[in-house]
Structure 1
Amino acid sequence: MRQNVIDTVSAMTAALERGDIDTVMSFYTDDAVVAFEPGAPVRGEEQLRAGFAAFAAVKPDFRYDNGHEVMLTDDIAVHIAPWTMSGTAPDGTRITQSGLSVATLRHQADDSWKIMLDNPFGARLIA
């Protein structure tokens, strides 16, 4: 099950890199909460789509070079992974960011996993 959680996060990330927002959304529960900015979580399909579209617009290239940690209990998983991202702003400026992704996923009846809480800026609390 641990690998299934990692595969879910990896597939969602790949869809985001392709700019495939419909597929990105398919990896999230209907009541998902996502922090597109540190300390500013949002919910609702419209806000999530807008946030993912903004990320996709920079043509992101995400890396999880330091691995993934997954903690499981029954139908809930916590996925923790340091990440780096490079991309290009609409004005051509190169963008680089990094952070610590902390996501909670719920096991679904069809045996898939869906993300319910997604905070890519978990490291901001570690000063």
Structure 2
Amino acid sequence: MNLPKKAEDAHAALAAAFNTGNVATVMSMYDVTGVIVPEPGKSISGKENFEEAVKALLSIKGKMEIKTVYCLQAGDIAVARSEWNITDGDEVKVSAKGIEVLKQQDDGGWKIIVDHAFGAEADLLA
């Protein structure tokens, strides 16, 4: 999968990657030296942990949709806020508001380096 060339396209690219159902395709969207928060209160890092989190997310069968609320870029770093869900027909399996930090790669593509999938939830405590 080709990385997005604009930071603001990262959410759409991540949803498309998820919807392939392929772990390697989803993993290609992440800089695994970063951090992922796959569920509230659980922060992880490292390739093996990222892969485990991606597999768990993919085990939720359905279609992912991600709306970009905003994306602010400063040089090769961007911060974005998302509203995302995984649905199966009319059933919403997961719905959340996230915050992501993106880093531009040497080839010009963008990867997610921090993915706080529930980071913008109103009731989330730090």
Q: Smaller-chain TM-score range?
A: 0.7 to 0.9
CA distance in 1, matches of 2:95, 2:12: 16
Find the counterpart in structure 2 of residue 109 from structure 1: 106
Q: Distance in 2 between matches of 1:82 and 1:8?
A: 13
The one-letter amino acid paired with 2:33 is D
Whole-angstrom distance in 1 between the partners of 2:65 and 2:18: 13
Letter in 1 for 2:32: D
Deviations 1:64-96 (A, max 9, x none): 35x4310111111011111222249xxxxx662
Give the structure with the higher percent helix.
1
Contact 2:7 2:73 in 1 (8 A): no
> Structure 2: which amino acid aligns with 1:78?
V
Does the 8 Å CA contact 1:76/1:105 hold for their aligned counterparts? yes
Structure with a larger share of its residues in strand: 2
- Matching residue's letter, 2:112: I
2:45 equivalent among 43, 46, 65 = 43
Q: Which amino acid aligns with 1:123?
A: A
Deviations 1:92-116 (A, max 9, x none): xx66221112000011111111110
Q: Residue 60 of structure 2 contacts residue 93 of structure 2 at CA under 8 Å; is this kept in 1?
A: no
What is the aligned partner in structure 1 of residue 72 from structure 2? 71
Matched, 1:118 2:115: yes
Report sequence identity in percent. 29
CA distance, structure 1, for counterparts of residue 62 and residue 36 of structure 2:
17
What CA RMSD, in Å, does the superposition of the two structures yield over aligned residues? 2.2
1:54 equivalent among 50, 53, 56: 56
Does residue 85 of structure 1 match 2:86?
Answer: yes
Query: Distance between the aligned counterparts of 1:87 and 1:43, measured in 2?
Result: 29
The answer for unaligned runs of 5 or more in structure 2 is none
How many correspondences in the alignment?
Answer: 119
Quote how far apart the aligned CAs of 1:123 are: 2.9
Q: TM-score by structure 2 length? A: 0.82
State the 1:7 CA deviation: 2.1
Partner of 2:34: 32
Mapped partners of 1:84, 1:16: distance in 2: 11
Give the corresponding residue for 2:17.
15
Q: Which runs of 5+ in 1 are unaligned?
A: 89-93
